Amino acid sequence: MIKILFVCLGNICRSPLAEAICNAKIKEYGLESSLLTDSAGTSTYHIGEDPDPRSIEVARAHHTPISHKGRQVSSSDKHEFQYIMAMDRSNFQNIVSMLGEQPEGLYLMRDFDPESRGAEVPDPYYGGQQGFEDVYQMLDRSCEELIDFIREKHNI
């Protein structure tokens, strides 16, 4: 089983949305027995909380089931997950600090975005609904390529 962890600051906007999108694609491709996802935050702001209502709204608009309770990245994550996907450079650095090293499978989420490789997924928290839609589209493209990358690398 290959495990993917999506990480942002508070674990209520970008990372649970990425998890939901990736889970929908995993199900669509029949890869439930090969891939497993989770999401976490680098802060303690929203531990135990549901995703932001705007993340839920944009996921539902795209018929993407979303269900998650916020949690913080833990040191055991570097051993449990083969892929850790940071939404931006700040969280990338926070992950390295929290885990005490840069795990082999740590990437920026948009390293897999064919429209803007290596860019950051902006935090839509302080913006309007269009920001959540824009983030959904970035994550959708990135998740597609991430799954293709993993399937090719691991022959699944």
Task: Pick the closest to residue 136 from 28, 63, 82 (CA basis).
Answer: 63
Q: Tell me the angle at which helices 14-28 and 53-61 cross, rounded to the nearest 10 degrees.
A: 30
Query: Annotated catalytic, 14?
Result: yes
Query: Annotated catalytic, 8?
Result: yes
Query: Annotated catalytic, 123?
Result: yes
Both tokens of residue 99? 């885990």
Report the C-alpha gap between 145 and 22 in whole angstroms.
10
Cβ atoms of 108 and 142 closer than 8 Å: no
Q: Which of 38, 52, 113, 123 is catalytic?
A: 123
Q: Which of 8, 13, 22, 143 is catalytic?
A: 8
Output helix, strand, coil percentages for the chain, rounded to the nearest 5.
40, 15, 45
Q: Which of 14, 54, 71, 110 is catalytic?
A: 14
Report the C-alpha gap between 25 and 11 in whole angstroms.
20
Catalytic residues: 8, 14, 123
